[in-house]
Chains A and B, each alone.
Chain A
């Protein structure tokens, strides 16, 4: 028998026995209507929570900056070269681990580039801005801070996301004097940093207009020799006496360094920085990692250029390891990682110095900078190392951190393993934040979140419960409905089936007839349900918007100062993904149940038709 004729029989049945058919059609219709509205509104509430509640702050909450555990600085370990501070840091392995957490969109390891003296003079008129820390960021994480594509294309200006805390400029103002006396007796022990608030050093934040800064192109120079400290500090008495060096004294220092460097390098060449053109695509003003971001695919290029510049500047004279140990500093390479620590003798100490004592200013927002020294160590060279920093110099060290020579391969960084102190975890939705943070902690990463999003956590768990309960009910109800109504249809159709069989209809045709009858009714309920669901979703959206605004003003506003009003149109959104899932569930369940129940129909004997009672 033709399938078409079987289907026509079902349509005929539907027309003449509509009331019976409605027993299945109406419940399916109601369930589908509800599923459309419910799943759409749940998604809309999530979207509203994520997009509209905080405006830009909401986007910030989709970023979780996982930081390495900061162990307190222990001076007794400062010279312990096997200090394991690096062991805590993150690598690509951690990226992979965190990427597997559900709801995590991307994980980006922030790698701080082993470069120094990055600065620009043409971003702001007459002001030099130094970038103490340049880190790489992948495109997904960058999307938190910029709407532009954060990738580097050769031949074009490199996109850069500035850190507001780096937008400062420093000047010296000796007030016409050559010597300043500071009373340090009032400084509390343990707050040594305060002593570095040298009164002649002025740091001021540059006022900028974010809108006009974005899109600005500027030149950044990277490398070049350190600025020679132009003063000395004498702390022999209770007071601190700061003396400005005379021009002659300065000239001598510059000349000393030039002589030392010229032994092994072309001085002019090595002291000239390399330059790049950047375009500002974003400005970060409130993250914990005070660093300026460049595209992930530009990091290796920059460092390779930086190292190659040094390698090419050598004059051919081999640099003895003793000289590398005592006279010059750079970055180190232990066969695994290119580190911004000095020649190893200072270990952790040096890393701290390097991080905080580069040029003009630091990025730690508030603590005024320390002037660079020829030793690269701060504290007026108190630690006594007379190491001239050579930009791009990579010093090869062995496993015990003993200097073994200078690296001549500019690809050393590209091939090395990168570590970083920050992992930027971008999540799909702010409402999942708490769950993801739990998962991050379960994975062994310590991250303590503020409880700001707890209010959304509660909302989310409620929505999840509603959504799960409804889906389970949907599955159970659809199964029960189809099973019950079809069993009823079949038991009421025994004689009818008997006649079909007596006339010569095959078992398979009977099976197909009842399966298609069930699916036809389900389909009618489904189509009507989708239609009404979509229509009613707009009505429901109106009420949900009202409820959500009350929730915002009465609950959320208590936690957050900034509460944006929610545009009601967000609640007319339709969740097609969920509709797809419900459609698949409906078809799957009703097909299986129909087949099972219809099997009993195909087993009805034709003898049933001939029974005389």
Chain B
């Protein structure tokens, strides 16, 4: 069995005025297919930077990221965009739905970006909303939904193109306990059902316990593996 994610000597430096800051320093690890990963660490330890680089949202200073056997290092904007669209799903702490789209339309969006026709996209969006328990809310705008409901829509959207890997950046950070549990449960069930790997940043040790792999970051380096 191969690795779903390989991070090799990943380094990210940026300039803050005249000072060079090393956000991520020579981080290496790999995650075999079928495994999930929780990334723990205090704020400023480089968790979000790691997620951004692994998801191809930002450019690395050195090192490499290989997802499902493909290096994303030298991809052009179009290539990484298409790759992100088809292979990855994202769930953010700030619930990032488009406020002018209904729940259904938000879920349809990654499929439309992929060029799927609207009828197919709509069917699949409705199925996904059913799975996250939001069928009756399909035609509601985000502002008509609760925070927990919005994050469930975001989960459905992340799953829209059947990605191999889902990146989640503290998806329950803004939710109460009950909703947090619900979102995590749904995410766990759906990803397992579909053989997806979830890579989640969290500061909650209890949540981390539910993951098959955990790494801890501190000052941009892996503390243990």
Q: Does A496 interact with chain B (Cβ within 8 Å)?
A: yes
B6 within 8 A of A: no
Which residues in A have their C-beta under 8 angstroms from that of B127? Answer: none
Query: Any chain A CB within 8 A of the CB of B169?
Result: yes
Q: Please tell me which stretch of A318-326, A444-452, A601-609 contacts chain B, meaning at least 4 of its Cβ atoms lie within 8 angstroms of it.
A: A601-609
Majority DSSP secondary structure for residues of A touching B: helix
> Is B118 within 8 A of A5, CB to CB?
yes
Query: Which single residue of chain B is at the shortest CB-CB distance from A4?
Result: B118
Residue B207 at the A interface, CB < 8 A? no
Contact indicator B52/A607 (Cβ below 8 Å): yes
Residue from the set A499, A500, A503 with the largest chain B CB neighbour count within 10 Å? A503
Interface: A210 (CB within 8 A): no
Q: Are the CB atoms of A501 and B100 closer together than 8 Å?
A: no
Q: B48 within 8 Å of A by Cβ?
A: yes
Q: Is the C-beta of A186 less than 8 angstroms from some C-beta in chain B?
A: no
Task: Tell me the smallest distance from the CB of B116 to a CB of chain A, in Å.
Answer: 9
Among B61-69, B107-115, B210-218, the one that faces the other chain is B107-115
Contact present for B57 and A503 (CB under 8 Å): no
Q: Does B98 touch A at the CB level, under 8 Å?
A: yes
A504 touches B52 (CB 8 A): no
Shortest distance between the CB of A580 and any CB in chain B (Å): 35
- Complex contact B84–A504 (CB within 8 A): yes
* Cα–Cα distance between A19 and B75 once the two chains are bound (Å): 40
Looking at the complex, which one of B52, B86, B97, B141 makes contact with A16 (CB distance below 8 Å)? B141
Q: Which residues does chain A contribute within 8 Å of B110, judged by CB atoms?
A: 503-504
How far apart are the CA atoms of A506 and B115 in the complex, in Å?
12
Q: How far is the CB of B44 from chain A (nearest CB, A)?
A: 12
- Partner of B113 from the list A17, A508, A509, A606 (CB cut-off 8 Å) is A509
Using Cβ atoms and an 8 Å threshold, which residues of chain A touch B77? 506-507
- Contact bitstring B69-103, A, C-beta under 8 A = 1, else 0: 00000000110011111100010111011111100
Q: Do A504 and B114 form a contact, CB below 8 Å, given A607-B52, A609-B92, A612-B94?
A: yes
The answer to whether B86 and A605 have CB atoms under 8 Å apart is no
B residues within 8 A CB of A15?
A: 100
Determine whether the beta carbon of A606 is less than 8 Å from that of B57.
yes
| Residue from B48, B82, B94, B105 within 8 A of A504 (CB atoms) | B82
From B48, B113, B114, B141, contact of A610 by CB (8 A): B48
A503-B90, A610-B51 as given contacts; A16 in contact with B81, CB under 8 Å: no
Kindly state the separation between the CA atoms of A22 and B92 in the bound complex, as whole angstroms.
32
Nearest CB in chain A to that of B43: its residue: A612
CB-based contact A610/B105 at 8 Å: no
Q: Are B98 and A496 in contact (CB under 8 A)?
A: yes
Residues of B in contact, count (CB < 8 Å): 37
Given A16-B141, A502-B90, verify A495-B96 contact (CB < 8 Å): yes
CB distance from A21 to the nearest CB of B (A): 11
B96, A499: Cβ atoms under 8 Å?
yes
A458 at the interface (CB under 8 A from B): no
Q: Known contacts A5-B112, A499-B98, A504-B86; is A610 also within 8 Å of B57 by CB?
A: yes
Nearest Cβ in chain A — how far from B139, in angstroms? 13
Q: How far is the CB of A611 from chain B (nearest CB, A)?
A: 7
A488 CB-CB contact with B under 8 Å: no
Identify which of residues 115-129 in chain B touch chain A, using a CB-to-CB cut-off of 8 Å: 115, 118
A505-B98 in contact (CB<8A):
no
Which chain B residue lies CB-closest to A608?
B57
Q: Is the CB of B96 within 8 A of A609?
A: yes
Knowing A507-B81, A612-B93 touch, does A16 contact B109 (C-beta < 8 A)?
Answer: no
Expressed in whole angstroms, the Cα–Cα distance for A440 and B58 within the complex equals: 69
Query: Is A12 an interface position by the 8 A CB rule?
Result: yes
Whether A501 and B81, one on each chain, are in contact in the complex, defined by CB atoms closer than 8 angstroms, is yes
A599 to chain B, nearest CB (A): 14
A1 touches B113 (CB 8 A): yes
Q: How far is the CA of A203 from the CA of B157 in the complex (A)?
A: 105
Write the A575-611 contact mask toward B (1 if CB under 8 angstroms, else 0). 0000000000000000000000000000001110111
B56 to A, closest residue via Cβ: A606
Return the chain B residue nearest A12 by Cβ.
Answer: B100
> Do A1 and B115 touch across chains, with their CB atoms under 8 A apart?
yes
Determine which residue in A13, A16, A501, A506 has the highest number of CB atoms from chain B within 10 A of its CB, and name it.
Answer: A506
Check B118–A506 contact: CB distance below 8 A: no
Residues from chain A with a CB closer than 8 A to the CB of B81 are 501, 504-507
- A498–B84 CA distance with the chains assembled, in angstroms: 13
How many angstroms between the C-alpha atoms of A611 and B173 in the bound complex?
A: 13
Asked if B52 and A12 make an inter-chain contact with CB atoms under 8 angstroms apart, the answer reads no
Known contacts A1-B115, A13-B100; A503/B58 CB under 8 A: no
The residues of A that contact B98 with a CB separation of less than 8 Å are: 496, 499
* A2: Cβ under 8 A from any B Cβ: yes
Asked if B100 and A503 sit within 8 Å, CB to CB, the answer is: no
How many Å lie between the Cα of A607 and that of B105 in the bound state?
Answer: 22
Min C-beta distance of A400 to chain B, whole Å: 85
Residues of A within 8 A of B112 (CB): 1-2, 5
**Inter-chain pairs besides A500-B109, A500-B113, A504-B114, 10 sampled, C-beta below 8 Å:** A16-B99, A503-B90, A504-B81, A505-B113, A506-B78, A507-B77, A609-B57, A609-B92, A610-B52, A612-B173
Q: List 18 A-B contacts (CB under 8 A).
A: A1-B112, A2-B115, A12-B100, A16-B99, A495-B94, A499-B97, A500-B109, A504-B86, A605-B58, A606-B84, A609-B90, A609-B96, A610-B90, A610-B92, A610-B169, A612-B93, A612-B94, A612-B173
Binding site for B on A (CB under 8 A): 1-2, 5, 12-13, 15-17, 495-496, 498-509, 605-607, 609-612
Q: Top 5 closest A-B pairs, CB basis?
A: A504-B85, A16-B100, A606-B57, A506-B81, A504-B84
